[in-house]
Amino acid sequence: FDMFVLAFVERLFRPTFRKDDFVLGKKLGEGSFGVVYKVTLANKSSSKQGDLVLKKATEYGAVEIWMNERVRRACANSCADFVYGFLERSTAKAPEYWLIWRFEGDATLADLMKSREFPYNVETLILGEVQDLPKGLERENRIIQTIIRQLLFALDGLHSTGIVHRDIKPQNIIFSEGSRTFKIIDLGAATDLRVGINYIPKEFLLDPRYAAPEQYIMSTQTPSAPSAPVATALSPVLWQLNLPDRFDIYSTGLIFLQMVFPGLRNDNSLIQFNRQLKRCDYDLVAWRKTVEPRCGADLRRGFELLDLDGGIGWELLTSMVRYKARQRLSAKAALAHPYFDKEGLLALSFMQ
């Protein structure tokens, strides 16, 4: 069967929506490129759809719709469940795109990391019950390991599809209550390198707190904005040359770091950490040497956690946060890292 026919038929049978179908609820977020609301359907008979999320986006909404359509077909479990996207012409002169997802849950990873209970609050969410085990480093390590594994799994899906997210951060990771896993949201800054969508890097979209040091994820020598057929043929080669996916791996490494070190969870301390790391030429081992001798109990505990099982967590972290993209692990390679050999939370729940 032809792929295009399948995609077309799939679209035909999916519900379509118009502006008037939605009743706006609570505002969930507001960025420079759009506003996000929780919404319900006006027509009660179709409200078995459950709660939905609406993003009213500016011109970048077109790219975000394209990305979400692609993700639904290629790696649906990686991201929040996309329902529908359309151009809402009638209101303003500037185009406004409306994007609809299923409401996955109340908490992003950022929300969960703000709690003093972290990471135990995540353990409860994933396992659906309170664990009666002693709290301690081993247990925290298992929970963090499970979160990182779910994140890498979602990223591997995106990267295998040819999509680089470019804005991986705790605020863009949602806990899906339905599947009890973390999923990626906010594909507004994403690039589909196989088809050349959003190819010209909009670097101003990047969040400096989680951005890798490379300014451009594709080398500036590569041709800019290739026409679509050329891009399709060239991109796998360009991908191998530039390894643009490693940009997301760097960001994921920073999230790993923040989970391990509570002191690095707020914005200011993360910015300060980034400055320190830059001063160490992005060498985490050098950074550790400068901070460890005079560090407080908080940092020391983090290093202890990373040093468990012969320092396998530290080994993984330092394979993700590296200056050169080429030296960072891919999402797939990271998933095969011995840090994940133990079964994480699953093992924890069977231990009793």
User: Which residues of this protein are in contact with ligand ADP, per CB under 6 A?
Assistant: 28-31, 33-34, 36, 53, 55, 80, 101, 103-105, 108, 171-172, 174, 185-186, 188
Q: Which is nearer to ligand ADP, 186 or 192 (CB)?
A: 186
State the minimum distance, in angstroms, from the CB of residue 115 to ligand ADP.
15
Residue type, 324: K
Residue type, 253: G
Residue with Cβ nearer ligand ADP (39 or 320): 39
Tell the smallest beta-carbon distance from residue 303 to Mg ion (Å): 31
Most distant CA atoms of the chain, gap in Å: 64
Annotation says 167 is catalytic: yes
DSSP, residue by residue, 36-94? EEEEEESSGGGGGG--EEEEEE-TTHHHHHHHHHHHHHH-GGGB--EEEEEEE-SS-SS
Backbone angles phi, psi at 261, to 5 degrees: -110, 100
CB of 214 closer than 8 Å to CB of 189: no
Residue with Cβ nearer Mg ion (34 or 119): 34
Sign of the CA dihedral with 53 first, then 58, 62, and 64 last: negative
Site string for Mg ion, 178-217 (x = CB under 5 A): --------x-------------------------------
Q: Which two tokens stand for residue 228?
A: 């679509």
172 binds Mg ion (CB under 5 A): yes
Q: Is 117 left (phi over 0), alpha (psi -120 to 50) or beta?
A: alpha
CB closer to ligand ADP out of 52 and 321: 52
Indicate the residue whose CB is closest to ligand ADP.
Answer: 29
Beta bridge partners of 38: 53
Among Mg ion, ligand ADP, none, partner that 103 touches (CB below 5 to 8 angstroms by kind): ligand ADP
Could you say which of ligand ADP, Mg ion, none residue 192 binds, taking C-beta under 5 to 8 angstroms by partner kind?
A: none
Distance CA 338, CA 314 (A): 11
DSSP one-letter code for 273: H
Site size for Mg ion (CB under 5 A): 2
What are the DSSP calls for 204-242, one per residue?
GGS-TTT--S-S-SS-TTSPSS--HHHHHHHHHHHHHHH
Please say which residue, 265 or 288, places its beta carbon nearer to ligand ADP. Answer: 265
Residue 30 CB, shortest distance to ligand ADP, in Å, is 6
Q: Which of 81, 156, 167, 248 is catalytic?
A: 167
| HSE-up (13 A, CA, CB side) for residue 191 | 25
Q: Which tokens hold the place of 198?
A: 């959003």
Least CB distance from residue 103 to ligand ADP, whole Å?
5
Identify what 33 binds: ligand ADP, Mg ion, none; CB under 5 to 8 Å per kind.
ligand ADP
Least distance (Å) between residue 173 CB and Mg ion: 10
Pick 25 or 311: Cβ nearer ligand ADP: 25
Give which of ligand ADP, Mg ion, none residue 80 binds (C-beta under 5 to 8 Å, depending on kind): ligand ADP
**Are β-strands 173-176 and 163-164 bridged in parallel, bridged antiparallel, or unpaired?**
unpaired
Angle value at C-alpha 251, between 179 and 101, nearest 5 degrees: 35
> Nearest distance from residue 246's CB to Mg ion, in Å?
21
Residue 39 interacts, among ligand ADP, Mg ion, none and using kind-specific CB cut-offs from 5 to 8 Å, with none
If contact means CB under 5 to 8 A according to the sort of partner, which of Mg ion, ligand ADP, none does residue 108 touch?
Answer: ligand ADP
> What amino acid positions are annotated as catalytic residues?
167
Which residues contribute to the site for Mg ion (CB under 5 A)?
A: 172, 186
